[in-house]
């Protein structure tokens, strides 16, 4: 059988052209509509997206903003995080999570992850709250022992498209009086089975507020920048609407200072067109993941595939494997013209930007080990099985060669 893809074309890590081919007419119509009505900022296109995306996330309110980073910042502010607070999150996330915390004037503090899911470890969160914090005698406030600042919020990140284990996180938050703001920037449509409620819940519907990014490479991506805050709380929605628009609810009447953080109408229109396809695309991604899993079965022990607990439905924003010789495998795939990524190579607590937080190597061993072994393989809805066979074949070849080099007597132990 002839492959559609010549080996020289290679297999990209991400394909941002294919999804727009079948939608091109509708997307061009969005631009035409904007030009003919001069509807560039706000207006019906933004309102349509907010209504549709709220429905998709199963929440009453959605507020479109200019990026996922602003969505996080506004969500934290509107939820009530104050300057001087400490906000707990994980070290293995994109820096936007902690940038938003710092931009509110708060300080990030980290809790390590579960090795198999790469998400916030509820047991470590409990340990942090029990031993890393103390109650201030006079006020009863929860203080971080490291910084003596009030701990007020938790930001679980639903990394790679799979939700963090929310039941125990929400329970701890309740016990300790903390707010939960979800970083759902990689999780548009991901689901979590809440045992507390005995039903599946959508990402963005569990915290006091949640932040989504519409950066082009996300499962729902704009043709530029965009983001959204979702919430059940009308007051938070109202506050985010003000924050994104210079602190005004009525033009030139400023209750507070705000930001220029609105969502462009053209981007909202593009997103509304693409949102109609999101569930189908997410389902396709799950099929891609299932085919990878199947293909990697015989490499068990050499390569760790993503783990999806029974309580999670991942939307596979990324398909992340773990291997010991990660960098060598990445080079091997790169020579075979197969694109890969590392999300993320350096945990935030070891980034230069956060040297002042005072963490060191060894502070979060699970995140650190993961960072040295994770590799994101090509993943997008249109990724075909033939391309996946090529990825599998190249990884098989690499494993064969490195295994033979390391232990020649084992060369037959790894089947192709
Ligand atoms: C993409 C992303 C963000 C930031 O979104 P932008 O739209 O790029 O500002 C925040 N957190 C996580 C986990 C992300 O993946």
Distance CA 25, CA 281 (A): 19
Q: How far is the CA of 68 from the centre of ligand 1 (A)?
A: 5
Residues 212, 313 within the same domain: no
Q: How far is the CA of 74 from the centre of ligand 1 (A)?
A: 14
What is the best residue among 66, 97, 160 to mutate for testing ligand 1's pocket, by most ligand atoms within 8 Å of CB? 97
> Which of these three, 253, 274, 295, is where a domain ends?
274
Q: Residue 344, preceding bond cis, omega within 30 degrees?
A: yes
Distance CA 169, CA 129 (A): 11
> Which of these three, 274, 296, 330, is where a domain ends?
274
Question: Which residues, in sequence order, are bridge partners of residue 192?
Answer: 201, 312
How far, in Å, are 188, 223, 267, 382 from residue 275 at the CA level? 10, 13, 12, 16
Residues 353, 254 within the same domain: no
Summarize pLDDT for 103-123 with one digit per residue, the tens: 999 999 999 999 999 999 999
Summarize pLDDT for 65-107 with one digit per residue, the tens: 999 999 999 999 999 999 999 999 999 999 999 999 999 999 9
Ligand 1 within 6 A of 93 CB?
yes
Ligand 1 within 6 A of 119 CB?
no
Q: Is residue 304 part of a domain?
A: yes
Q: What is the mean pLDDT of the chain?
A: 95
Ligand 1 within 6 A of 213 CB?
yes
* Percent of all residues in the chain with a pLDDT value above 70, rounded to a whole number: 95
Ligand 1 within 6 A of 186 CB?
yes
CA 84 to chain centre: 26
Which tokens is 269 given? 């229109």
What ligand 1 atom has the least distance to the C-alpha of 67? 7
Distance CA 70, CA 52 (A): 20
**What is the number of domains present in the chain?**
2
The pLDDT score that the predictor gives to residue 409 is 63
For range 46-59, the mean pLDDT: 98
Distance CA 300, CA 381 (A): 25
Ligand 1 within 6 A of 94 CB?
yes
What is the best residue among 186, 225, 228, 318 to mutate for testing ligand 1's pocket, by most ligand atoms within 8 Å of CB? 186
User: What angle do helix axes 24-37 and 265-296 make, rounded to 10 degrees?
Assistant: 160
CATH of the domain at 362: 3.90.1150.10
Determine the structural domain holding residue 299 and report its residue range. Answer: 278-406
Ligand 1 within 6 A of 226 CB?
no
Ligand 1 within 6 A of 304 CB?
no
Q: Is the pLDDT of residue 414 over 90?
A: no
Q: Residues 220, 225, 229, 235: what is their CA dihedral angle, to the nearest 10 degrees?
A: -150
Q: How far is the CA of 212 from the centre of ligand 1 (A)?
A: 7
The pLDDT score that the predictor gives to residue 412 is 52
Side-chain-side CA neighbours of 48 within 13 Å: the count stands at 17
Which tokens is 310 given? 């029974």
Q: How many CB atoms lie within 10 A of CB 199?
A: 10
Q: Are 293 and 260 in contact (CB under 8 A)?
A: no
Q: Is residue 2 part of a domain?
A: no
The pLDDT score that the predictor gives to residue 2 is 44
Pairing of strands 179-183, 151-154: parallel
The pLDDT score that the predictor gives to residue 408 is 63
Residues 247, 315 within the same domain: no
> Which of these three, 274, 295, 325, is where a domain ends?
274
Tokens 């639903």, residue located = 158
Residues 99, 170 within the same domain: yes
Q: How far is the CA of 373 from the centre of ligand 1 (A)?
A: 22
Residues 149, 231 within the same domain: yes
Q: Is the pLDDT of residue 416 over 50?
A: no
Q: 415 falls in which pLDDT band (50, 70, 90)?
A: very low
- Kindly give, in sequence order, each residue whose CB lies less than 8 Å from that of residue 251, ignoring residues fewer than 6 positions away: none
Q: Is residue 224 part of a domain?
A: yes
Ligand 1 within 6 A of 71 CB?
no
CA diameter of the chain: 77
Residues 262, 338 within the same domain: no
Summarize pLDDT for 270-284 with one digit per residue, the tens: 999 999 999 999 999
Residues 207, 324 within the same domain: no
What is the best residue among 213, 342, 348, 379 to mutate for testing ligand 1's pocket, by most ligand atoms within 8 Å of CB? 213
pTM value is 0.95
Ligand 1 within 6 A of 68 CB?
yes
Summarize pLDDT for 281-318 with one digit per residue, the tens: 999 999 999 999 999 999 988 999 999 999 999 999 99
Which tokens is 186 given? 């990689």
Q: Is residue 411 part of a domain?
A: no
Q: Is the pLDDT of residue 5 over 60?
A: no
Q: Are 174 and 153 in contact (CB under 8 A)?
A: no
Ligand 1 within 6 A of 227 CB?
yes
Residue having the nearest C-alpha atom to atom 2 of ligand 1: 185
The pLDDT score that the predictor gives to residue 6 is 52
Q: Is residue 7 part of a domain?
A: no
For range 34-51, the mean pLDDT: 95
Summarize pLDDT for 134-193 with one digit per residue, the tens: 999 999 999 999 999 999 999 999 999 999 999 999 999 999 999 999 999 999 999 999
Give buried/exposed letters for 340-349 (b at 16+ CB in 10 A, else e).
bbbbbebbbb
Residues 258, 126 within the same domain: yes
Q: How far is the CA of 211 from the centre of ligand 1 (A)?
A: 9
Radius of gyration of the chain (CA): 22
How far, in Å, are 72, 133, 239 from residue 61 at the CA level? 15, 33, 12
Summarize pLDDT for 357-411 with one digit per residue, the tens: 999 999 999 999 999 999 999 999 999 999 999 999 999 999 998 877 766 665 5
Distance CA 120, CA 312 (A): 14
Ligand 1 within 6 A of 344 CB?
no
Q: How far is the CA of 385 from the centre of ligand 1 (A)?
A: 29
Distance CA 340, CA 224 (A): 22
CATH of the domain at 144: 3.40.640.10
Tell me how far apart the terminal alpha carbons of the chain are, to the nearest angstrom.
20
What ligand 1 atom has the least distance to the C-alpha of 218? 1
The pLDDT score that the predictor gives to residue 401 is 87
The pLDDT score that the predictor gives to residue 402 is 85
Q: 9 falls in which pLDDT band (50, 70, 90)?
A: confident
Residues 57, 201 within the same domain: yes
Q: Is residue 413 part of a domain?
A: no
Q: How far is the CA of 56 from the centre of ligand 1 (A)?
A: 19
């Amino acid at each position: 059988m002839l492959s559609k893809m010549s080996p020289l074309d290679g297999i990209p890590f991400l394909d941002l052209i294919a999804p727009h081919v079948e939608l091109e007419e509708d997307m061009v119509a969005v631009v035409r509509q904007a030009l003919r009505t001069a509807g560039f900022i706000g207006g019906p296109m933004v309102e349509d997206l907010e209504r549709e995306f709220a429905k998709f996330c199963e929440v009453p309110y959605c507020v479109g903003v200019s990026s996922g980073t602003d969505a996080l910042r506004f969500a934290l502010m509107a939820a009530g995080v104050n300057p001087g607070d400490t906000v707990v999150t994980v070290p293995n996330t994109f820096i936007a999570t902690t940038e938003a915390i710092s931009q509110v004037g708060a300080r990030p503090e980290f809790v390590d992850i579960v090795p198999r899911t790469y998400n916030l470890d509820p047991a470590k969160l409990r340990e942090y709250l029990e031993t890393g914090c103390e109650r201030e005698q006079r006020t009863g406030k929860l203080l971080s022992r490291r910084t003596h600042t009030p701990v007020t919020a938790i930001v679980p990140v639903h990394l790679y498209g799979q939700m963090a284990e929310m039941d125990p996180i929400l329970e701890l938050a309740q016990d300790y009086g903390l707010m939960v703001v979800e970083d759902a920037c990689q999780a548009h449509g991901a689901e979590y089975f809440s045992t507390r409620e005995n039903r599946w819940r959508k990402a963005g519907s569990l915290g006091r507020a949640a932040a989504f990014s519409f950066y082009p490479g996300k499962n729902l991506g704009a043709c530029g920048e965009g983001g959204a805050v979702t919430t059940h709380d009308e007051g938070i929605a109202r506050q985010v609407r003000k924050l994104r628009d210079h602190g005004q609810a009525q033009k030139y009447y400023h209750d507070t200072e705000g930001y220029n953080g609105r969502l462009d109408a053209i981007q909202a229109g593009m997103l509304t067109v693409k949102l109609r396809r999101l569930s189908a695309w997410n389902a396709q991604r799950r099929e891609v993941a299932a085919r990878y899993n199947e293909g990697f079965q015989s490499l068990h022990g050499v390569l760790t595939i993503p783990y999806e607990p029974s309580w999670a439905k991942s939307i596979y924003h990324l398909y992340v494997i773990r291997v010991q010789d990660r960098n060598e495998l990445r080079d091997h795939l790169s020579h075979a013209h197969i694109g890969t990524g590392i999300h993320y190579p350096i945990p935030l607590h070891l980034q230069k930007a956060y040297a002042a937080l005072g963490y060191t190597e060894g502070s979060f061993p699970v995140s650190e080990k993961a960072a040295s072994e994770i590799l994101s393989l090509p993943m997008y809805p249109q990724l075909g099985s033939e391309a996946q066979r090529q990825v599998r074949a190249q990884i098989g070849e690499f494993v064969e060669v490195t295994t033979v080099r390391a232990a020649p007597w084992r060369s037959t132990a790894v089947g192709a």
